[in-house]
A and B are shown apart, each in its own frame.
Chain A
Amino acid sequence: DAKTTQPPSMDCAEGRAANLPCNHSTISGNEYVYWYRQIHSQGPQYIIHGLKNNETNEMASLIITEDRKSSTLILPHATLRDTAVYYCIVSSIQGAQKLVFGQGTRLTINP
């Protein structure tokens, strides 16, 4: 599976959009980009995923560059409850669909 690079930490003001970048320059054609988050010491929570088109759901938007080498997770109106570690993962939807977690980005939402 391709590896990802994320900034170790970011801050964002409450109510503003939080934009979390991720580099995945070695991504393969059949690999999806997944985003999960982990609030405090809970189990990770799925946020969104995409292959090459931009995606949006009730939690967030995912913007994938045309060459698929990087992506950005957007939380449109961040709240204090969005403070968490965010993981960007690339994985094939074929086979066992194993997820390889890196260190993630610790996002702190400030009041």
Chain B
Amino acid sequence: NAGVTQTPKFRILKIGQSMTLQCTQDMNHNYMYWYRQDPGMGLKLIYYSVGAGITDKGEVPNGYNVSRSTTEDFPLRLELAAPSQTSVYFCASNPSNSPLPFYGYTFGSGTRLTVV
């Protein structure tokens, strides 16, 4: 049971480049989330999904896009990278209304992105 897997772990992008951050979970969780964390700050929600084919914006969605074609995968797309997107990105999943016990969100190990 791998949990939530994020790739890549590190990436350096040039301004204007595009990339996709991958997130996969093998726990059959319905809910998935993308957060970003700037240095010394708490996590901010970018996008979330409550099931395949359903996504919605969080607090800081500008500059990002997501899709959810399967329960397992929730990729985050950066179209035109900007220095302000330099951050650590965390993907998480949540079993939603599964029967108890409740174990909370499961987070991935993060992707550290630098835009130069």
Mark A residues whose CB is within 8 Å of B.
34, 36, 41-47, 49, 87, 96-104
Q: Contact: A102 with B104, CB < 8 Å?
A: no
Interface string of B50-70 (1 = CB under 8 A from A): 100000101100000000000
Q: List 14 A-B contacts (CB under 8 A).
A: A41-B110, A43-B92, A44-B43, A44-B107, A46-B105, A47-B104, A87-B42, A97-B94, A98-B33, A99-B43, A99-B45, A100-B45, A101-B42, A103-B42
User: A47: nearest residue on chain B (CB-CB)?
Assistant: B104
Interface contact B110-A42, CB-CB below 8 Å: yes
A105–chain B nearest beta-carbon distance, Å? 11
Chain B interface, number of residues (Cβ within 8 angstroms): 29
Q: Name the B residues within 8 Å of A100 (CB-CB).
A: 45, 59
For chain A, what secondary structure do more than half of its interface residues adopt (helix, strand, loop), or is it mixed? loop
Q: For the complex, would chain B's binding face be called helix, strand, loop or mixed by DSSP majority?
A: strand
- Give every chain A residue within 8 A of B108 (Cβ-Cβ): 43
A contact residues around B105 at 8 Å (CB): 36, 44, 46, 99
Q: How far does the alpha carbon of A36 sit from the alpha carbon of B107 in the complex, in Å? A: 11
CB <8 Å contact, B107 and A103 = no
Closest CB-CB distance, B6 to chain A, in whole Å?
9
- The 8 Å CB contact of A101, one of B4, B44, B50, B109, is B44
